[in-house]
Amino acid sequence: MRRPLALLALVCAVLGVGVLASACRGGSDASKADAADVLRRGAERMDKVKAFHFDLSHENGTSQIVRGLQMVSATGDVVPPDRLRLDAKAKAGPLNIAVGIVAVPGHSYITNPVTGRWEEEDISVSQFFDPAVGVTALMRGTTEAKVTATEKVEGRDTHRIEALVDSGKMTLFAANAAPGRALKVRAWVGIDDPVLVRVEIDGAVGEGEPANLLRRLTLSKFDEAIQIDAPQTGASR
């Protein structure tokens, strides 16, 4: 019995040392990564992305979009530079509604909250939510950035970066973003492929927003074949 027990103890000791060494290497790798370089490479990579999918959520608030609607959450696709499709859960006063928005070159469309039918609308993506441009602007606009961890997000190994960004640079979420407030940002950038996988922003971007508002944007399906066409006006969503 002694020999098996001794062997078991040796295996446990080796595994323990291995886990400890691995943990140490993980921390070392995170500390060695230069946050500014990670963000720079990430912005350059996102400039070249041909398409991506997104999921946007809020805690403690909403983002104003068109027709006075307050967006609670949204999911959709982007084909840079000027094609977007999203399905949003929104609020119109006390009412919870679902709304679809499509933007293609020269035209934008929205579903009527009452009828659910598509209508052409004179809006620009940059007026309310512009991930194609806003993501890279955010990555290039941060200060005091530091890599705090390596984490797996959406199946990708990522660098977790914590930084500050001026609220005026948050055109990703609001064209009328008011400058002057330092917002906390957490960004997860891929290690093998430096795409922006997720970003979280704490704080108010526009006037009247709650100070504890949290926006979370998760991106996926990078460079996949995504087609966004204009819907037929009058047709149901």
CATH number of the domain to which 100 belongs: 2.50.20.20
Pair (63, 120) in one structural domain: yes
Pair (83, 196) in one structural domain: yes
Number of structural domains the chain divides into: 2
Q: Are 189 and 42 in contact (CB under 8 A)?
A: yes
Give the domain range for residue 105. Answer: 35-220
How far apart are the two ends of the chain, measured CA to CA in Å? 72
Pair (44, 126) in one structural domain: yes
Give a yes or no: residue 114 inside a domain: yes
Length of the chain in terms of residues written: 237
Give a yes or no: residue 19 inside a domain: yes
Pair (12, 100) in one structural domain: no
Give a yes or no: residue 230 inside a domain: no
125 DSSP 8-state letter: G
Give a yes or no: residue 197 inside a domain: yes
178 DSSP 8-state letter: P
pLDDT tens-place values along the chain, 237 residues long:
444 333 333 333 333 333 333 333 344 456 589 999 999 999 999 999 999 999 999 999 998 888 888 999 999 999 998 899 999 999 998 999 999 999 999 999 999 988 999 999 987 766 667 777 788 888 999 999 999 999 999 999 999 999 999 988 887 777 668 888 899 999 999 999 999 999 999 999 888 899 999 999 999 999 999 999 999 998 888
Pair (190, 135) in one structural domain: yes
Q: Are 212 and 60 in contact (CB under 8 A)?
A: yes
Pair (5, 47) in one structural domain: no
Rounded Cα distance between 174 and 179, Å, is 12
Task: Report the amino acid identity of residue 94.
Answer: P
Angle (nearest 5°) at CA 69 between 126 and 56: 60
pLDDT score recorded for residue 172: 76
User: Can you name the residues that pair with 147 across neighbouring β-strands?
Assistant: 161
Pair (6, 91) in one structural domain: no
Main-chain dihedrals φ then ψ at residue 180, nearest 5 degrees:
110, -5
Pair (66, 177) in one structural domain: yes
Give a yes or no: residue 77 inside a domain: yes
Pair (175, 62) in one structural domain: yes
Q: Are 63 and 174 in contact (CB under 8 A)?
A: yes
Secondary element (H or E) of residue 100: strand 95-104
CA-closest candidate to residue 91, choices 111, 73, 71, 75: 71
CB atoms within 10 A of CB 197: 26
> pTM value?
0.83
User: Can you name the residues that pair with 168 across neighbouring β-strands?
Assistant: none
Pair (45, 161) in one structural domain: yes
Cα dihedral 20/21/27/33 (nearest 10): -170
Tens of pLDDT, residue by residue over 36-79, are 999 999 999 999 999 999 999 999 999 888 888 899 999 999 99
Give a yes or no: residue 235 inside a domain: no
